[in-house]
Structure 1
Amino acid sequence: MIKLNSKIAPITLAVALAIAATSQASYAEEQQATKKGELERIEVTARKTVENLQEVPVAVTSIGAQELAENGISVMTEVQQFSPNTTLQASRGTNSTITAFIRGVGQQDPLWGYEPGVGIYIDDVYLARPQGAVLDLLDVQQIEVLRGPQGTLYGKNTIGGAIKYVTKEMSGDATLNVQGTVGSYNQKDLKITGQLPIVDEKLYVGFGFATLNRDGFGEFLTSALDNQDRENYNKDVTAARVTLEYTPTDDLFFRFAWDKTDDDSNAKGGYRLLPSLLTNAPVPDSVYDSYTSLPTWNKVELEGYSLTARWDMSSNTSIKYIGSSRESYSPTNIDFDNTSIRIFDVPAIYDDEQTTHELQLNHQGDNYKLVSGLYYYDGESCGQFQAILEELGKAAFAAPGLTREVSGCSNSTSKAAYIQGSYDFNDKWSMTLGARYTKDSKDAIVNNGLVLDTVYPESGWIPGYVRPEGKLVPTVLDDSKDWSRFTPRVGVEYQHNRDMMFFASYAQGFKSGTFNPRASIAEPAADPEVVDSFELGMKSEWNNNLRANVTLFSLDHKDRQYISVLPGDNAADLNQRLGNIGESKSDGVEIELNYVATDALSFDAAIGYIDSSFDKVIDTDPTTGETFDKSDRFSVANTPDLTFNLGATYRMYTEMGDFVANANYYHRSDYALFEEDSLLTQDSYGLVNVGITWYSTDGHWSAGLYGKNLSNEEYMIGGYQFVAPDPNDPSDVSKYTPGLGGDNTLIGYYGDPRTVSLTIGYRF
């Protein structure tokens, strides 16, 4: 087994917690403290209303625009270092597809039909698909990370938690902000944002534009195609936003927003961890170098519209409507074997559309708060991929090629009603009750079969290629199913004094049922996954300069959906069965501290520890029909036992302007990349980041110099494994038998290397 791993000793955890206890964390807000040397007030929207972070009985981290800027954070995946027990990473073969896990709950496979385990939201609009969800930060007010199932207020597919991207509401005079960045690997970014009042205090138009470019961290050393861009891990993104806000009266507010993103970055090539059996190319010297027989181009196109309308019926009651329409289109090239011949190539197309409507009623009385609403979702997720096994076709079938083509759609609707209220019995005790009823309907069609030729998704995919006319493979599944679910939340809060609150809660969430998008026969749908979570927490502030928030949690993850690979008649078969076969359990603690030592110096820390394991994984022997438990072969993927972030910030106020210097160390202990028989395990590692930001005295100019991953750590964030240990000598983890395609396909994808960037901004 390829193992880049060593267990964290208990003493390491003890030391980390001791350091955390004297430091801090959950830094998180763009506003500066109202008084020097004191904690700032942080407001969040975790319960769909604006509240003080310290009064919300939910494990939530909020990172504001100012902190994001002063840490040089430009993409949402970097937020993971501020939130305990959180994994946000770019998935495998593309820059824009997200892999999101919170508290050991998420979804690794981004294929259409599979539902996420962590919900992604932009201004309360749900993003149903992971493609394009690695958002570049543009005109952001704050990012909130809600940990634990959010099934009552946010609905299905938030069984791990939710990530909320909140943009700024407009107000004030006309503004124009221009920001340019240059950096390592020829990074050249330009961001332009601003607002213009059309009617003073009534009608505003806001805009944002960004072009983000960077050369590759590595290159494709060989390619079977001529005139290909050889850059690997490069970036070529253009994004735009336009917002129209109208406040006709003090009681009415309307916002119309449009956004569009085009990501023309190359497909990412993986690093071969084993020499190829079918080519002479050696394992590359750099983990960012690769080989390919596919085109290197890639594309992700996203576009969305949303309308928000709010009516404040009184000082205590408001009605809010949020409607949206989004679509994405992503043709992509993923070379699984990463060689210059067609051993296991997978060109694919993802095509998604969604429409959502939500009507909210918020009310606040003398001793209670109430949030309620109706929700409707209508989505269509379609796609196709071609598993090209050309070398196997030549060897086994004496054919010019061999392709398993899979295509189909997963269309779904979801209707829900929810209500959640908090009641204060007295000035000490309060209670929270919430419930949501959801009804899902899903229609699925899957086409799956073998073609004795090399087939691509469209004509012109490679130079001169013309796709055959007509349908190439049969329809193997055409079915529909409905599910319904009641998800409750119960909590009790105790306000010990003005600065300390304790809370205990039970919450349930579910991930929607689904059909197998790779089905080779007409198999039944998998039922929804369910998570039951218990939390015990404390929110506290001490002497107005130390904030300490602690959460203990325990969750049971039941009816886990999982693909079992079944043996076929020959090596070209991709027989896979989807079913509810697993149960896992996680227990952990999360500590977020923030300590303002002096007017100038502050410290922060975010620590998460989690103990996760599979309790039961029941499978069926396809030969005998007998069931058996294989939980000893399973790991909870993308979930380090220990994560922590320790940081310090120093502010200097001079006649030349204000300077903000910061540094942080982010640590992740070892973790498996796959659930079953993972051959890829990332060793524990740490990232050192530093930055210094300058603000001019007139408030117009700013500049920042930022260094990321200064120790140049190499760490895996994804991979593919299509090999197996040698059955004749399974104890020797250096020996493997070839997998699908007939080669040793064991591939790793890596996080960013050391980078340095300089950002200069001007505010007109």
Structure 2
Amino acid sequence: MRAIKFHPLAAGVMLACGATFSYAQQPALEEVTVTAQKREQSLQEVPVAVTAISEDALMQSGVSDLTDVQKLSPNTTLQASRGTNSTLTAFIRGIGQQDPLWGFEPGVGIYVDDVYLARPQGAVLDILDVQRVEVLRGPQGTLYGKNTIGGAVKYVTKKMTGDPNLRVSGALGSYSQNDLKVAGSTAIADGVYLGGAIASFQRDGYGENVRTGEEQYNKDVVSARVALEFNPSDELWVRVAADQTTDKSAPKHGHRFDPGLGGEPVLDSVYDTQSNMLYDNLVETSGMSVTAEWDVSPSITLKSTTAYRQGETETAIDFDSVNRPDFDVPAYYEDDQTTQEFQLNWTGTNADLVTGLYYYSGTAAGAFDAVLGYLTNVIGVPLTQNVAGSVDTDSLSAYAHYNWSFAPDWNLSLGGRYTRDEKAADVFKANYIGLYSPTFQDKYYPEGSESMLAAVLTDYSNSDSWGQFTPHVGLDYQVNDDVMVYAGYSAGFKSGGFDMRGDASALPSTVDGYDPEVVDTYEFGVKSDLFNNRLRLNAAAFRADYQDMQVSVQQLVESGGFASAILNAGESRIQGVELEATLAVTDNLMANLALGYADTEFLEFITGGVDVSDERDLQNTPDTTAMFQLNYSLPFQSGAELVINPTISYRADTQIFETPSRLDQEAYTLVDMTATYYSPDSSWQLGLVGKNLADEEYRIAGYAFGGPFDTGFYGAPRTIALTGSYNF
């Protein structure tokens, strides 16, 4: 019955409130299978903190893209970055990446079928032909190709079975939402399957440019995937896949907190703008991969994943959000990556091993102008700062993860990873007198006077390399058939790099780059199925000692332009608890609860030779996240079923950057509800999805350059959509 299909979010609330149970009905939760440890296991056997959300749970929770997943996973932030629809800001347990500029590495790894996405552009993945989403919290290095210091989000698509199928689905909703998805697969020969999916996601803007009527916060995305799977023999499986996503949504400009320099008033709607930057915004990402699995013997499997990805972005950011180039930033990014992973899985009588080699080679490049027209009133002329550069990265690593059942009910896990990263950077920064540099003038200011080079601030090439061993050790004990407890230690590592915005004239040390950061994480947890499988209660307590954290700092300076630095800030400590539970109250009612608490503190934050740790806190990490959800199924005699799913999610006060600012968001609560009707033969579904039903106004990102250049970006207002699908 769909109402009691499990997704691992939790509800021990009924138990905590003293609920009593009658075992006459004997409802029970179903087992959840995950691949968090690179092999199929029951979620309850995996001694790590992981949230797994099935296809049914994604639909019944109204999840449309990865940003909705943050509601369902404790201590997790997954949001669209400032000024964009499709660039992802991801934090898990206080560790992530705020700055989407090229050259920086994300602290949270995004994987699509074991292929690592190195750049946040295009990483706000829409839900398309997905089997489940897994969120792994804590460092991931001894089991995963690319080392990620904060955690990983796995997007797992469906394997083909050979049975011909075609599914058409769509949505019509608020702000002229008009989505259409088509997915299907079929056998084209004995053991050879062809499948694919294509989707269009369209929506008018939540706001507009009040000068022109152009849209703000709209959506215009087309995405497609195709795959060929075949089994040359019973022991060998191969998948060849390709995908492409194009996002043509309009540029997204922030909401000013203060009047503009020309006295422009603060607009009533936080989604509106008065921007002069009416230019095309384009994000294109594509890739292809070849995955092969060979069962060498009943106990040994070899796996190879080869992938290539590329992306291009053109964007326009208006920091002043008025009809003048007071502070305008046109930009473009481009990147490509090639990855190769070889993996060996061995399973013995009382032990198993995952080991592999991983190679990553990629280039990230880009350029932007900081068009500072407001300086005409300060220094007498407009000034433009142009920044351009590229970073080539080569990473080679070896990892192993060994599990040994050394005694009945006891299991020891030992892991290790050695990573060697090499980076070569070219960085250029210059001041131009005038509006726009030669890089962008033809497109953005074709009829203006040519700008004149005033000073080259940065122009260097440099390279560096870093190596690090990161271990893992864990112990788990099966107390009985229903309860497992575990403890573990894992280290994480993120290599250093070079600041693409660095000003060598003001900070000569920028040419030397910045250092790696490391984290030591300790975790204690319990996985339990109680009351005859009616209550699934999983909990974890953790502590992370975070050293040399890489912090990006930019600010305007009175003499003109802006200053930038990447600081290895010092030390911080993150500790907290997480609870996920699911309770089958009856055969038809299930309750879910997810709670996260994170106590974050900078122990040392050195800037300008001064420790300002008592004035800083970790960004994008509210101390409390919570979600409570009911899932009620109403069956009909015809065999049809109606599933009603109300959800309340809460996020405590959130600091957008390490330094407190007016951008910081106070605590807020979102109320969502879905109702899904399944036909008697399950061939079609019809749903009603309501999000942010209380129409809460909440800020998710922003820029803090002071006064009229303080701008915020906001989450979606109340939306309602009618969804449907038909299986042919």
TM-score (normalizing by structure 1): 0.89
Q: Which residue of 1 aligns with 2:7?
A: none
Report the CA distance between 1:426 and its aligned residue.
1.8
Report the CA distance between 1:113 and its aligned residue.
1.1
Q: How many residues align?
A: 704
Report the CA distance between 1:721 and its aligned residue.
0.7
Structure 2 matches for 1:567-646, cutoff 5 A? 570-620=558-608, 627-646=609-628
> Is it true that 1:63 corresponds to 2:27 in the alignment?
no
Q: Which residue of 1 aligns with 2:385?
A: 404
Q: Which residue of 1 aligns with 2:163?
A: 173
Report the CA distance between 1:173 and its aligned residue.
1.5
The answer (yes or no) to whether the contact 1:23–1:594 under 8 Å persists in 2 is no
| Range 177-186 or range 653-662, more displaced | 653-662
Hey, what's the Cα distance between the residues in 2 that align with 1:684 and 1:196? 48
> Is it true that 1:150 corresponds to 2:150 in the alignment?
no
Shift in alpha-carbon separation, 1:17–1:188, aligned structure 2, 3 A: closer
SS at match of 1:69: helix
Q: Which residue of 1 aligns with 2:705?
A: 722
Hey, what's the Cα distance between the residues in 2 that align with 1:545 and 1:745? 53
Shift in alpha-carbon separation, 1:284–1:498, aligned structure 2, 3 A: same
Paired AA for residue 128 in structure 1: A
SS at match of 2:444: coil
Gaps of 5+ in 1: 1-15, 25-34, 224-228, 621-626, 724-737, 739-743
Shift in alpha-carbon separation, 1:465–1:330, aligned structure 2, 3 A: farther
The answer (yes or no) to whether the contact 1:638–1:671 under 8 Å persists in 2 is yes
> Is it true that 1:336 corresponds to 2:319 in the alignment?
yes
SS at match of 2:67: helix
1:19 to 8, 13, 22: 13
Hey, what's the Cα distance between the residues in 2 that align with 1:760 and 1:130? 30
Hey, what's the Cα distance between the residues in 1 that align with 2:230 and 2:17? 44
Shift in alpha-carbon separation, 1:95–1:185, aligned structure 2, 3 A: same
Report the CA distance between 1:462 and its aligned residue.
3.3
The answer (yes or no) to whether the contact 1:141–1:168 under 8 Å persists in 2 is yes
SS at match of 1:67: helix
1:541 to 514, 525, 529: 529
Q: Which residue of 1 aligns with 2:408?
A: 427
Hey, what's the Cα distance between the residues in 2 that align with 1:294 and 1:493? 57
The answer (yes or no) to whether the contact 1:476–1:520 under 8 Å persists in 2 is no
Q: Which residue of 2 aligns with 1:448?
A: 429
> Is it true that 1:678 corresponds to 2:642 in the alignment?
no
Q: Which residue of 2 aligns with 1:741?
A: none
The answer (yes or no) to whether the contact 1:331–1:348 under 8 Å persists in 2 is yes
Report the CA distance between 1:468 and its aligned residue.
6.5
Shift in alpha-carbon separation, 1:466–1:178, aligned structure 2, 3 A: farther
Shift in alpha-carbon separation, 1:106–1:204, aligned structure 2, 3 A: same
Report the CA distance between 1:157 and its aligned residue.
5.2
Write the deviation string for residues 321-376 of structure 1: whole angstroms up to 9, x where unpaired. 00100000000001011111111111100101000000000000000010000000
Q: Which residue of 1 aligns with 2:21?
A: none
Gaps of 5+ in 2: 1-9, 19-24
Hey, what's the Cα distance between the residues in 2 that align with 1:452 and 1:588? 51
Paired AA for residue 266 in structure 1: A
Hey, what's the Cα distance between the residues in 1 that align with 2:209 and 2:130? 35
Q: Which residue of 1 aligns with 2:117?
A: 127
Q: Identity of aligned pairs, percent?
A: 47
Q: Which residue of 2 aligns with 1:219?
A: 208
Q: Which residue of 1 aligns with 2:678?
A: 695
Shift in alpha-carbon separation, 1:467–1:487, aligned structure 2, 3 A: farther
Q: Which residue of 1 aligns with 2:5?
A: none
The answer (yes or no) to whether the contact 2:430–2:453 under 8 Å persists in 1 is no
Q: Which residue of 2 aligns with 1:439?
A: 420
Report the CA distance between 1:608 and its aligned residue.
0.3
Shift in alpha-carbon separation, 1:497–1:466, aligned structure 2, 3 A: farther
Hey, what's the Cα distance between the residues in 1 that align with 2:565 and 2:111? 31
Hey, what's the Cα distance between the residues in 2 that align with 1:23 and 1:316? 47
Hey, what's the Cα distance between the residues in 1 that align with 2:601 and 2:421? 29
Shift in alpha-carbon separation, 1:470–1:369, aligned structure 2, 3 A: farther
Structure 2 matches for 1:253-292, cutoff 5 A? 253-276=237-260, 278-292=261-275
The answer (yes or no) to whether the contact 2:475–2:488 under 8 Å persists in 1 is yes
| Range 454-463 or range 525-534, more displaced | 454-463
Report the CA distance between 1:619 and its aligned residue.
2.1
Paired AA for residue 395 in structure 2: S
Q: Which residue of 1 aligns with 2:497?
A: 514
Report the CA distance between 1:390 and its aligned residue.
1.6
TM-score (normalizing by structure 2): 0.94
SS at match of 2:549: strand
Structure 2 matches for 1:49-448, cutoff 5 A? 49-154=39-144, 158-200=148-190, 202-222=191-211, 230-276=214-260, 278-392=261-375, 394-399=376-381, 401-448=382-429
Hey, what's the Cα distance between the residues in 1 that align with 2:543 and 2:231? 45
Q: Which residue of 2 aligns with 1:734?
A: none
Write the deviation string for residues 617-657 of structure 1: whole angstroms up to 9, x where unpaired. 1122xxxxxx2211122111111111110000011221341
Hey, what's the Cα distance between the residues in 2 that align with 1:532 and 1:693? 44
Paired AA for residue 57 in structure 1: P
Report the CA distance between 1:274 and its aligned residue.
1.4
Q: Which residue of 1 aligns with 2:3?
A: none
Paired AA for residue 482 in structure 2: D
SS at match of 2:614: helix
Hey, what's the Cα distance between the residues in 2 that align with 1:21 and 1:642? 21
SS at match of 2:502: coil
Report the CA distance between 1:414 and its aligned residue.
0.2
Report the CA distance between 1:222 and its aligned residue.
2.4
Hey, what's the Cα distance between the residues in 1 that align with 2:555 and 2:630? 52
SS at match of 1:54: helix
The answer (yes or no) to whether the contact 2:11–2:580 under 8 Å persists in 1 is no
The answer (yes or no) to whether the contact 1:661–1:693 under 8 Å persists in 2 is yes
Hey, what's the Cα distance between the residues in 2 that align with 1:161 and 1:356? 19
